[in-house]
Amino acid sequence: MKGLGREPGRWRTSSHSSGESASCVEVMLRPPRCVGLRDSTHRDHATLALPAHQWVALLRIAVDA
């Protein structure tokens, strides 16, 4: 994913997710300074909201792993 951009309220799916059977997490920039997460295979289920600084920390952990 190249980033959330500056379009609050728009869900984005990873470019690594492809095809009908692919499952992925989608993210959305939510004001103020919050990131929403949801399961792309169950879009109508609950979402998770993280403060932006926790999202950045999560990405850093994933990159270092």
Predicted confidence (pLDDT) at residue 2 exceeds the cutoff of 90: no
> Cα 44 from chain centroid?
15
* Predicted TM-score (pTM) above 0.85: no
Q: Where are the domains of the chain?
A: 23-64
Q: Rg (Cα) of the chain, in Å, rounded?
A: 12
| Closest alpha carbon to 1 in 11, 13, 9 | 13
Each residue's pLDDT tens digit, 9-38: 788 887 666 666 567 888 898 888 899 999
- Please report the pLDDT score of residue 49 as a whole number: 92
pLDDT at 53 exceeding the cut of 90: yes
Percent of the chain with pLDDT over 90: 18
Q: What is the structure's pLDDT at 31? A: 81
